[in-house]
Each structure stands twice: as structure tokens, then as C-alpha cells.
Amino acid sequence: MKTVITYGTFDLLHVGHVNILKRAKALGDYLIVGISTDDFNAIKHKQAFYSFRDRKKILEAIRYVDKVIPEKNWGQKIKDIRKYGVDVFVMGDDWKGKFDDLKKYCEVVYLSRTPNISTTSIKNNLKYHE
């Protein structure tokens, strides 16, 4: 079995999220998604609209996702790769090169993002329409 892992906040789920999850799952047999906890988001100066608990529940309902785990800090990725026997680490290409150090543990793949869609753009559009 080939195991794939990816990470993100996955707030305000949109088609770009679904596309990356579908493409990540296609790289293996089992997809693990690490989602940033509310405390970790605070460290990153990000605030999600939905709580960790709700984002986790939403991701668990997506057919491409086999397991959802909390991402509590930047340094846990190597531990997760080892713990779950990960073969492929996947991130969006906006992170290209940032996780190349993980190549000594597994394959690292940066997938292109869906054009013209992002959580930030959705939040900005919602503010514009207030």
C-alpha cells in the first residue's frame, strides 16, 4: 500500500481543495491529511473561519481522504512520515522547494493549484460584499 500525506488549514472548503485532495489520493492508495489546529494557526497568524473540529469533520466526509490528523507544529512532519510509513508528501506548488528536506524520507511532490481560487480570495470577496 502506498501512503500519501498532505497538510493545510482547509478552511472554507472550495473546489481547489477538492482538486488537490483528489490529485494527492491518485498518487497512492491511502491519503492522510494533516490539518492545522486552531493553536497552530494562531502561531502562524492565521485565523480560520471554522474550528479545527469542524474542519476535521468536513475533511473526513470527503471520499478521497482516508485519515485526518491534527497538525500542531511545523516540526511534526518527519515524525508523521515515519509513524504512518508515508511514501509521498504532497503540497501545493505555492510551497515549492520549502519541503525538499523531506526527500530523504519520502518522495516530495508539489501540485499546481487550481487557478483563480483560494481561501484568501473567498474571504476578500466576502468582505467586499458586506
Name the catalytic one among 2, 22, 25, 44: 44
Alpha helix segments (H runs only) across the chain: 15-25, 38-43, 52-60, 76-84, 119-128
| Amino acid symbol at 107 | E
CB-CB contact of 68 with 33 (8 Å): yes
57 is a catalytic site residue: no
Name the catalytic one among 22, 25, 46, 83: 46
Distance from the Cα of residue 27 to its chain's centroid: 15
98 is a catalytic site residue: no
Could you tell me the three cell numbers for 14? 472550495
- Cα–Cα distance between 79 and 17 in angstroms, integer? 24
Q: Which residues are catalytic?
A: 44, 46
